[in-house]
Each structure stands twice: as structure tokens, then as C-alpha cells.
């Protein structure tokens, strides 16, 4: 049986199935990228809730796996050369899982890099920008009298949505006919922007030509529906 006891994170979140990939996460837009991916590729895993309400992400055990103190993170007992691999950063995890399973990432080198560019685009653009809209529109930032930060992030979020809308013109998914990690990386964020953040009217979401239908198609996938709720919130 695989021994993960040398990893301090397993002291706080014991592995009941140490032979399976261990997921440490919360169903946030970043967190669900990995749970959706795992559901899509059918890889056996065990999910552990990292509860922000109790600052789980700041504990020494979690920081031993991810010194940046953010979710998601994984511990794969069957990593490269059969050795355990600890990994954080959602984009890196998506790429790793795609390469490990041979799924949701094209084998053709040119198409592979084209897919990865959209994953990195999400990590550097929609993720941070949509998150700022959420802060300044729904959370503490909404109390700020100066509305210029909100206006800035709303404008940039709209611009990014237009980029995505243009990419989806004539395509079912970001890479065409095939659902890939590019779609996985973006679905939770677009869903959150118009849902939990309630910012649809701000970014004029309904005026987009292609993104709304793409989002509907993505959210209809059974694996996506499952992944959006993993790990279950307390």
C-alpha cells in the first residue's frame, strides 16, 4: 500500500485511500477546475475540504504542500516514475492531469500549445479580473465611495469576455469540436461572475453572442455538474 505519511498534510487530512490521488480544495472557481477535471477523466481520487472559515489554508500542514496558501492542491501517490508528487496552482494541475491521463489536451504539438495558451490566458486574465469585480461589486469593496476600481475591473472583464466570445465564433468549444482543459479552466469563473458575483448586468453578459451558449453547454456536462460541488461545503 502507498505510504503518504511522510507528507505533513496527511496528518490534518488523513488519506483513507492512499493509493488514490488526494485533492485538497474548496468549490471556488479555481478549486472546481481540478474537481471537474478529475470527474471528466475518471481518475480515482479522494477529496478533502480546505475550509476557509477555519483558515485551513493557513495551517502548517497545508502550507507544507502549498507554501502559497491557496487551493487547489493535489498529492498524487503515483506521480512520475511511480513516486508521489505534490502539486499546486490550478493551471499546472490541469496540465499535469491531462498529460497523465492523455485526455482533454490534444496530442498534436501545435494544438497542444494552442490549448495551453488559453489556460494561461485564463490564469492571468479572467481569474484575477473577475475576482476583483466580485470584491468591488459584492464584498467589502462595494462600500468604497470611489467607484473607479470597480469600473476599471468591469471594463477589463467585459473586454476579456469579448476576447472569449470572438474565440468561440464558429466553435463549440474553445478548441473547436473537442472539450479541453481550456474550457475546464474557464467554466467556473464565467459561471461565478454572472452567478455568485451577480455581475452579469455590469458586464452586459446577455449581449455576448457566443459565451452564454458555451457556458450552458459546459454546465450541462454531467462531469462538470458533479465537479462543481466537490468537495462538499460544510
Q: What is the pLDDT of residue 66?
A: 97
Q: What is the pLDDT of residues 183-214, one digit of tens each?
A: 999 999 999 999 999 999 999 999 999 999 99
Q: Are the C-beta atoms of residues 164 and 231 closer than 8 Å to each other?
A: no
DSSP letter (8 states) at residue 233: P
Q: What is the pLDDT of residues 39-50, one digit of tens each?
A: 999 999 999 999
Beta bridge partners of 25: 49
Q: What is the pLDDT of residue 120?
A: 98
**DSSP per-residue letters across 75-90:** EETT-GGG--EEEE-H
Grid cell for residue 155: 471594463
User: Splitting the chain (234 residues) into consecutive groups of 10 residues, what average pLDDT does each group show?
Assistant: 87 96 98 98 98 96 97 97 96 98 98 98 98 96 95 98 98 98 98 98 98 98 98 90
Topology at the third CATH level for domain 9-104: Glutaredoxin (3.40.30)
Q: What is the pLDDT of residues 84-103, one digit of tens each?
A: 999 999 999 999 999 999 99
Q: What is the pLDDT of residue 62?
A: 98
Q: What is the pLDDT of residue 197?
A: 97
Range list of H helices, 107-227: 109-124, 126-137, 148-167, 181-194, 211-219, 222-227
Q: What is the pLDDT of residue 190?
A: 98
Q: Please list, in sequence order, all residues whose beta carbon lies within 8 angstroms of the beta carbon of residue 85, skipping any fewer than 6 positions away.
A: 75, 76, 79, 96
Q: Indicate the pTM of the whole model.
A: 0.96
Classify domain 109-221 by CATH architecture: Up-down Bundle (1.20)
Q: What is the pLDDT of residue 234?
A: 80
* Domain regions of the chain by residue span: 9-104, 109-221
**DSSP per-residue letters across 38-83:** HHHHT--EEEEE--GGGTGGGSHHHHHH-TT--S-EEEETT-GGG-
Amino acid at each position: 500500500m502507498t505510504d503518504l505519511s511522510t507528507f505533513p498534510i496527511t496528518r490534518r487530512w488523513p488519506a483513507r485511500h492512499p493509493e488514490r490521488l488526494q485533492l485538497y480544495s474548496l468549490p471556488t472557481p479555481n478549486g472546481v477546475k481540478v474537481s471537474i477535471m478529475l470527474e471528466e477523466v475518471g481518475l480515482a481520487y479522494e477529496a478533502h475540504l480546505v475550509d476557509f472559515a477555519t483558515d485551513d489554508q493557513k495551517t502548517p500542514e497545508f502550507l507544507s504542500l502549498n507554501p502559497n496558501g491557496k487551493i487547489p492542491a493535489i498529492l498524487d501517490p503515483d506521480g512520475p516514475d511511480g513516486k508521489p508528487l505534490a502539486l499546486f496552482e490550478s493551471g499546472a494541475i490541469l496540465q499535469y492531469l491531462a498529460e497523465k491521463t492523455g485526455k482533454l489536451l490534444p496530442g498534436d504539438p501545435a494544438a497542444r500549445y494552442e490549448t495551453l495558451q488559453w489556460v494561461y490566458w485564463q490564469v492571468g486574465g479572467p481569474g484575477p479580473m473577475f475576482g476583483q469585480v466580485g470584491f468591488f461589486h459584492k464584498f467589502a469593496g462595494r462600500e468604497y465611495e470611489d467607484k473607479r476600481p470597480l469600473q476599471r475591473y468591469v471594463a477589463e472583464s467585459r473586454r476579456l469576455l469579448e476576447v472569449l466570445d470572438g474565440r468561440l465564433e464558429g466553435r463549440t468549444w474553445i478548441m473547436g469540436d473537442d472539450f479541453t482543459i481550456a474550457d475546464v479552466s474557464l467554466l467556473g469563473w464565467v459561471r461565478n461572475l454572472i452567478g455568485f458575483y451577480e455581475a452579469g448586468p455590469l458586464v452586459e453578459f446577455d449581449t455576448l453572442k457566443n459565451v452564454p451558449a458555451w457556458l450552458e453547454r459546459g454546465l450541462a456536462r454531467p462531469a462538470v455538474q458533479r465537479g462543481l460541488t466537490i468537495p462538499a461545503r460544510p
